[in-house]
Amino acid sequence: MSDDSKPKPDTYTVLLYSDDIKVRDRIRLAIGLRPAADLAVEFVDASTWEECRRLLDDYEIDLMVLDGEASPAGGLGIARQTKDEYATPPPTCVVIARAADRWLAAYAQVDQTLVYPLDPVTTGQTIAGMLRARRNGAVPLGTLGTLG
């Protein structure tokens, strides 16, 4: 017998970007389908900037998780280009190899960073926090938000 009194989790669409399918799979595994009890995620994958752009144009993307080490288009470059080209870009999280690269992430107006190798607890907490902030109306970095 199912318990209908439990609230259903809010479901969000997360775009995973990396040129390497194994990296996307590791990120997906670290986030999980339920990063928190009140949140569920559906993933869409992209391996090129063109695929990212198509997904951003065609779907409601709630969060982008980008591989900072991808090639030829790195996650930091895609994050910055998204902030520059879209009036209301989704929040972005970039996975970087070196904590020292956080200054580059700040320049790219990245909302959060994670460092390889991914810790599932930290990753889940970071993604859950970003999705809850989105749900509560937080405006991503590099976004002017709604005036008026």
Q: For 71-121, how does the pLDDT look when each residue is reduced to its tens digit (9 = 90+)? A: 999 999 999 999 999 989 999 999 999 999 999 999 999 999 999 999 999
Return the amino acid letter for 95: V
Q: What ranges in the chain are assigned the alpha helix state H?
A: 21-31, 49-58, 75-85, 102-107, 120-135
Please state which of the ranges 23-27, 64-68, 138-142 shows the lowest mean pLDDT.
138-142
- Fold of the CATH domain 10-136: Rossmann fold (3.40.50)
pLDDT score at 26:
97
pLDDT score at 148:
37
pLDDT score at 129:
96
- Helix, strand and coil content of the chain, in percent to the nearest 5, comes to 40, 20, 40
Record the tokens describing residue 146, joined without a space.
Answer: 């709604």
How far apart CA 136 and CA 134 sit, in angstroms, is: 5
**Domain positions in the chain:** 10-136
Record the tokens describing residue 145, joined without a space.
Answer: 């938000």
The crossing angle, in degrees rounded to 10, of helices 75-85 and 49-58 is 40
pLDDT score at 138:
80
pLDDT score at 86:
92
How far apart CA 114 and CA 3 sit, in angstroms, is: 36
Given CA atoms 4, 6, 10, 13 in this order, what sign does their dihedral have? negative
